Amino acid sequence: MPEDPTHPDQIERIDTWAAGGEGTALWLNATGVALGDAAIAILGASGTGKSTLALSLLALGATLIADDGLWLDTATHPARLRRPDTARDLIEARGIGLLNAGPTRAAAPLGFLVDLDRAEPHRLPPRRYVAIGDGHYPLILGAGKHTLAPSLFLMARHGRAEP
């Protein structure tokens, strides 16, 4: 669910990652997984590890929404990640090939976003958010973080402590 930001200077706009749009939906060159009722949008340039992170989360019990491209419905509250109609039930494993992802999910409410282009410089970082429609969604800077998958899994399941 969207959170109320405590640090307004840490709010970014979703337009930064949008590669197009259709009505109130934005196209993201991203991978999406769902853990329970929370969807995670994994953002980053080609080769940053979006599919690799999704594979790790799938191994922990997540369900694939879509690999390497999905829709973000901004008119709903909370915003929703949605699988493209043409998406296949596959995920890329570099050096291995395309893998069957198992059961997939058509859509899920957005819980938070992960940016694999940027590393978090702080040990205990400030709260970062992305403004989408009427909500603000947590943003995690995840480049180079070896414990990212289990950390995101716990965050999606149990939340994050207040600073």
* Per-residue pLDDT reduced to its tens digit, 45-54: 999 999 999 9
Instruction: Report pLDDT digits (tens) over 106-132.
Output: 999 999 999 999 999 999 999 999 999
Q: Model pTM greater than 0.85? A: yes
Q: Which domain holds residue 63?
A: 13-158
CATH number at residue 84: 3.40.50.300
Domain-embedded: residue 6:
no
How many domains does the structure of the chain reveal?
1
Provide the percentage of residues in the chain whose pLDDT is more than 90: 85
pLDDT at 157 (0 to 100):
93
Residue 2 lies in a domain: no
8 occurs within a structural domain: no
Instruction: Give 89's DSSP letter.
Output: S
111 falls within a domain: yes
Integer Cα distance of 52 and 39 in angstroms: 17
pLDDT at 5 over 70: no
More confident residue, 94 or 40: 40
153 within a domain of the structure (yes/no): yes
Under the banding of pLDDT at 50, 70 and 90, the label for residue 87 is very high
Question: How far is Cα 70 from Cα 18, in angstroms, rounded to an integer?
Answer: 10
Q: Is 90 part of any domain? A: yes
Cα separation values, 112 from 14, 30, 79, 162, Å: 12, 13, 10, 16
Q: Is 110 a member of any domain?
A: yes
